[in-house]
Structure 1
Amino acid sequence: MNEYRKGTVSTVLYSGSSLPYEPWSTDINIGWASDSSLRFLAVGDWGGLPSKPYTTHIETSVAHAMGKTAAKYQTKFTLALGDNFYFDGVKDVDDTRFKDTFENVYTDKALQTPWFLVAGNHDHRGNVSAQIEYSNKSKRWNFPNYYYPLHFTIPGSNATVSILMLDTIQLCGNTIHDKLGDQPQGPKDIEKANTQWQWLESSLENNNASFIIVAGHYPVISIAEHGPTSCLVETLMPMLYKYKVTSFFSGHDHNLQHLQVNQSNVSVDYFVIGSGNFVDPSTAHVSKVPSGSLKYHWANILKPGGFAYIEATPQTMTLSFIQGDGTYLYSHSMKPRK
């Protein structure tokens, strides 16, 4: 594991209707439902096209299904897991892609809740700082920094959900050709990568949340086109077990996957949620993941993509994969950390 210095950690706290950001001075208001669960969506690799119509049939189908799901369950926010704009990100904060691929696509009233975003490898081919700056122009686009924490209290309880949003491209570097098995080439800025690793470990070591989700674009393990990300297997994976993280959310591979790996009596669930815009049926790396770890894989090229719906109660956190036509595909429940 890399060597990095300990430091202070800024925290974003979500425990009711007032959601202060520090040190980014952003306030968001969420009206909690009068029940005892926290409900939200997750979607990855949703970033449309760089030319007209600036979207795909899969993206618009998934957006519609997300809206229906959000309305049905009164979800409070959405996690967007990178590759927000294909194929080369955005140029500046006034880029029309923000409207053409995001604002004008996810139009359902139930999706006008906060979106929390991280960057993907395609975003890093453009101007990620412009995506961060766009947080000041959009009521729902919340991208306060390259990496940041979210902490929620489950309504009606003292149970909590902690979500640590990572920039895995800053940690591991970008890919060159983004083709079969193409691995990140190493961080562009070693100091920034080490600072983020230090921040992550500091955020985990004193974290008493009932459930911890770590989220980033690259998968730790995957059976699909890109396969496991060696940088994350080497450095991140040991942290997940050391600090008993509940699950890791990612995209990058354009399908839906659930893998579960047990080490030293700790079980971590890995979810790939990368079919918000494309579907790729590759299983090229099925032999590269731990034996018996694959629990579910979906990549039906005849169907319009998919996303995830998550519901957390004090007793359990359940993730469900939903197809872009609204069909429920698969669910898995996780218990609170001990």
Structure 2
Amino acid sequence: MAAHASTINAQFLVNTGDNFYWCGIQNTSDFQVATDWLNPYNDASLDIPWYGVLGNHEYGYNVSAQIDLSTLHPNWIMDDHYYTKRITVTDSVHISMVFIDTSPCVSEYRSSSSSGWDPCGSQYPTCSLTNDPSDDFEGPCKFHENIISQDCSTQFTWFKEQLSSIPSDDWVIVVGHHPIDECDVEDLTSALQDHGFDLYLNGHAHTLTQYTVDGTGAYVTTGAGSLVNTADQLGGTAARNLTKAKVEGAAHLDTNYGHSYKTIWNQKVAGFTAHSFNDDYTQLTTDYIDYSGNVVHSFTVTKGSSPSPSPSPSPTGSCCHYSDSSCNEGDVCCKSNCDDPSTCSYTEYGCTGSYGQVHNCQWDGSTCKVGPQRNEL
């Protein structure tokens, strides 16, 4: 990320939440501030403003501590639970950015039933990495009480007011932690769609994804900075359950105001996104970049228009079957008794299933392909 930021001369960075696992931080001097942020991201190219939002994991400990970090670290920008910034690109080009706090707007987090709390619910009751009920790590989790202390309806009113006040010539970028249709306490999705926007950025799902809601819009999941959905992380099954990609069709939650989610492209690989204007600032290109610095997908938004996704390349290479002793990275993960890589690929469901994981198969949005091979001890 540092190398790419240097290459494109990045002007600022956007953090889509879940900044400190598992439960946020206790105070501004918490050891995780250095361990998880200051030390790993100390390259000169990243010494730029970091605009952030709160994720659900921030709500385990002291939410205000993350907002207060800016008093010690000027590059850390999080003015409040939700806030706006108008960024000057040139004398005549501006970006109006709206940063929202999605967690208090997820009904299962507000419920008296702890089954949907994340973290500190019935499945993962503490902030300990070992999930030992007797180990509170840094302290007791206060997820639910922190969530219900925030009023989603108040934020919803604020959100609509901020959208309506944006100058008509500005680029409009909205940032939240959750995919927008998962906010089901108030219909944030319709408010966003009714006003119009150029890009919505979110984290939460530990993948790289381009998606639409109700068949339109430029929505980006860029949550692949850690705990990516692979079989060899945190014991396999539990980690996959926590970081799975959303299904297509209805939204992840039952109450979603009738909105539908559709994946345009998805890859479960560690990485990030970069966003660059063309020379006359009429187009904004989103590049999805993997941990090796490769651009694995791109799409471009023309101001005021829906994106035109880049076509996926035709499958190349040979078929890899789960019964094969070894396969090459990039080969197509093929169904049994089927040997044409152009027609025999696993579906996305099969790609992430037990057969697909034999050779670390990964879905690239249209085809299941062999990913980087893990060294066996």
Shared fold, TM over 0.5: yes
Is 1:259 the counterpart of 2:211 in the alignment?
yes
> Residue in 1 aligned with 2:163?
204
> Residue in 1 aligned with 2:325?
none
Alpha-carbon deviation of 1:322?
0.4
> Residue in 2 aligned with 1:246?
198
Q: Distance in 2 between matches of 1:185 and 1:296?
A: 33
Q: Distance in 2 between matches of 1:211 and 1:67?
A: 26
Q: Distance in 2 between matches of 1:253 and 1:292?
A: 14
Correspondences of 1:214-225 after superposition (within 5 Å): 214-221=174-181
> Residue in 2 aligned with 1:90?
25
Whether the 8 Å CA contact 1:240–1:268 is kept in 2: the answer is no
> Residue in 2 aligned with 1:311?
276
The answer to which of 284-293 and 123-132 deviates more is 284-293
Correspondences of 1:248-327 after superposition (within 5 Å): 248-261=200-213, 267-280=216-229, 282-283=244-245, 285-288=247-250, 293-300=262-269, 305-313=270-278, 314-327=281-294
Correspondences of 1:325-336 after superposition (within 5 Å): 325-336=292-303
Q: Distance in 1 between matches of 2:275 and 2:87?
A: 13
Question: CA deviation digits over 1:236-275, x for unaligned, max 9?
Answer: 1111211011221111110011012466xxx411111111
Change beyond 3 A, Cα 1:143–1:120: same
Unaligned ranges ≥5, structure 2: 110-115, 125-142, 231-243, 252-258, 306-377
Secondary structure in 1 aligned to 2:184?
A: helix
- Give the alignment partner of residue 106 of structure 2, picking from 168, 172, 182: 172
Correspondences of 1:31-180 after superposition (within 5 Å): 66-155=1-90, 158-172=92-106, 174=109, 175-177=116-118
The answer to which of 280-289 and 206-215 deviates more is 280-289
Q: Which amino acid aligns with 1:312?
A: F
Change beyond 3 A, Cα 1:142–1:292: closer
Q: Distance in 2 between matches of 1:151 and 1:88?
A: 30
Alpha-carbon deviation of 1:312?
2.7
> Residue in 1 aligned with 2:369?
none
Change beyond 3 A, Cα 1:292–1:137: closer
Q: Distance in 2 between matches of 1:199 and 1:316?
A: 28
Task: Report the structure number with the largest CA radius of gyration.
Answer: 2
Q: Distance in 2 between matches of 1:172 and 1:106?
A: 31
Superposition CA RMSD, Å = 2.7
Alpha-carbon deviation of 1:287?
4.1
Identity %: 25
Secondary structure in 2 aligned to 1:231?
A: coil
Whether the 8 Å CA contact 1:308–1:322 is kept in 2: the answer is yes
Change beyond 3 A, Cα 1:131–1:292: closer
> Residue in 1 aligned with 2:360?
none
Q: Distance in 2 between matches of 1:283 and 1:169?
A: 18
Q: Distance in 1 between matches of 2:58 and 2:261?
A: 33
Q: Distance in 2 between matches of 1:258 and 1:185?
A: 31
Change beyond 3 A, Cα 1:209–1:163: farther
Whether the 8 Å CA contact 2:86–2:95 is kept in 1: the answer is yes
Alpha-carbon deviation of 1:193?
1.8
Q: Which amino acid aligns with 2:198?
A: T
- Give the alignment partner of residue 213 of structure 1, picking from 158, 168, 173: 173
Whether the 8 Å CA contact 1:82–1:117 is kept in 2: the answer is yes
Q: Distance in 2 between matches of 1:69 and 1:97?
A: 25
Alpha-carbon deviation of 1:166?
0.7
Secondary structure in 2 aligned to 1:70?
A: helix
> Residue in 1 aligned with 2:336?
none
Q: Distance in 2 between matches of 1:145 and 1:199?
A: 13
Secondary structure in 1 aligned to 2:265?
A: strand
Instruction: Report the TM-score, using the length of structure 1 for normalisation.
Output: 0.69
Correspondences of 1:185-204 after superposition (within 5 Å): 188-189=148-149, 192-204=151-163
Change beyond 3 A, Cα 1:142–1:291: closer
